[in-house]
Structure 1
C-alpha cells in the first residue's frame, strides 16, 4: 500500500478500535506524522501493511492515553498545592 493509504488505514483503525471521532483520529495521525513518527514507513514500503497499521494505531492511542493521564496527574498536583497554600 502507498504511504498515504497506510496513514488512512491507521486513522480508520483508530476510529474502529477506539471509537474515536474522525477528526480526533486524523489529528492524532497528523500530529504523529508532523513529529516524524512515520518516517521509516515512508522510507520502507515493507512496513506499510495492515498488520503494521494496527500496531501503529495501538501505539499511538496508548501514547495519547499516557500523555492524557500524565497531564491529569500534573493538574491534580497543582490543584492540591494551591489548596494547601490557601490553608
Structure 2
C-alpha cells in the first residue's frame, strides 16, 4: 500500500475504532506525521500493512488519551491551589 493510503487507513481506523470525528482523526495523524512518527513507514514499505495500521491507530489514540488525562489532572491541581476568592473576574 502507498504511504498516503497507509495514512488514510490509520485515519479511517481511528474513526471506526474510537468513534472520533474525521477532523480529530485527521489531526492525530497529521500531528504524528509532523512529529515524524510515520517516517519509518515512508522508508520501509513492508511496514505499511493493515495489521500495523491498526496497531498505529491504537498507539496514537492511547497517546492522545494520556495527554487528555494529564491535562485534566493538571487543571484539577491548579484549581485546588487557587485560594477561594482569588479567582478571575
Fold similarity call, TM over 0.5: yes
- How large is the RMSD of aligned CA atoms in angstroms? 1.2
Give the structure with the larger helix fraction: 1
TM-score of the pair, normalised by structure 1: 0.95
Q: CA deviation at 1:84?
A: 6.4
Map 1:55-70 to 2 at 5 A. 55-70=55-70
- Deviating above 4 A after TM superposition, structure 1's stretches of 4 or more consecutive aligned residues are none
TM-score of the pair, normalised by structure 2: 0.93
Q: Deviations over 1:17-39 (max 9, x none)?
A: 00000010001000000010100
CA distance in 2 between partners of 1:75 and 1:84 (Å): 16
Q: Could you tell me which residue of structure 2 aligns to residue 27 of structure 1? A: 27
Unaligned runs of 5+ in 2: none
Q: CA deviation at 1:44?
A: 0.5
Map 1:1-87 to 2 at 5 A. 1-83=1-83
Q: Deviations over 1:24-79 (max 9, x none)?
A: 00010000000101000000000000000000000000000000000000000000
Unaligned runs of 5+ in 1: none
Number of matched residues?
Answer: 86
